[in-house]
């Protein structure tokens, strides 16, 4: 199952939009700056077009991996990809896959379900990774919680978008 590039592109924009909102000084931005040691001077010296461009590229990569985490039907393709006849029109494998997709292709394909899996990914994958890095870098727990919360919300929204519209 190949995700639609339009849906992936929309999902990739989620962290960008969320970042503008979440890290704004009127929301969490001031607390994030303090916890991370970021200053206005450091921010002014950054190459923002490069930062946003690379961030968007990385968000595309993230959206591609969120897809199989939230769309259960993609597992069927993974299970059958090694079978003889996979992708061959009229083969037993292709017929079985088509039948399964006809029966189960729309199961668990809601925004709510995708967002749920996004929250699970945020809590059980992102938070531990950021937490471990921040422990070794001697960064404050507050920073870990700020960033992990941002990514949990962002991935939940990405999962919702992908699961609903892919």
Domain boundaries, the chain: 5-72+108-165
Tens place of pLDDT per residue across the chain (166 aa)? 678 999 999 999 999 999 999 999 999 999 999 999 999 899 888 999 999 999 999 999 999 999 999 999 999 888 898 898 998 999 999 999 999 999 998 899 999 999 999 999 999 999 999 999 999 999 999 999 999 999 999 999 999 999 999 8
Let me know: does 82 contact 89? Beta carbons within 8 Å: no
* Structure confidence at residue 77 (pLDDT): 86
C-alpha dist (Å) from residue 161 to 49, 64, 118, 127: 26, 12, 10, 21
Q: What CA–CA distance (Å, rounded) separates 103 from 12?
A: 30
Q: What CA–CA distance (Å, rounded) separates 40 from 107?
A: 48
Q: What CA–CA distance (Å, rounded) separates 54 from 47?
A: 11
Q: What CA–CA distance (Å, rounded) separates 130 from 155?
A: 14
C-alpha dist (Å) from residue 166 to 8, 40, 58, 128, 140: 8, 40, 19, 28, 38
Report pLDDT digits (tens) over 49-75. 999 999 999 999 999 999 999 999 999
């Amino acid at each position: 199952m190949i995700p639609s590039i339009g849906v992936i592109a929309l999902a990739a924009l989620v962290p960008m939009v969320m970042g503008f909102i979440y890290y704004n000084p009127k929301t969490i931005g001031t607390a994030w700056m303090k916890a991370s040691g970021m200053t206005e001077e450091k921010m002014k010296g950054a190459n923002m077009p490069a930062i946003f461009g690379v961030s968007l590229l990385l968000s595309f990569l993230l959206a591609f991996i969120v897809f199989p985490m939230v769309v259960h039907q993609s597992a069927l393709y993974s299970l059958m990809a090694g079978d003889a006849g996979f992708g061959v029109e009229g083969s037993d494998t292709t017929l079985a896959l088509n039948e399964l997709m006809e029966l189960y292709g729309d199961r668990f394909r809601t925004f709510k379900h995708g967002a749920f899996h996004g929250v699970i990914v945020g809590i059980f994958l992102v938070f531990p990774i950021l937490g471990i890095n921040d422990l070794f870098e001697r960064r404050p727990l507050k920073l870990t919680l700020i960033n992990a919360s941002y990514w949990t919300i962002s991935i939940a929204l990405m999962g919702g978008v992908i699961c609903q519209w892919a």
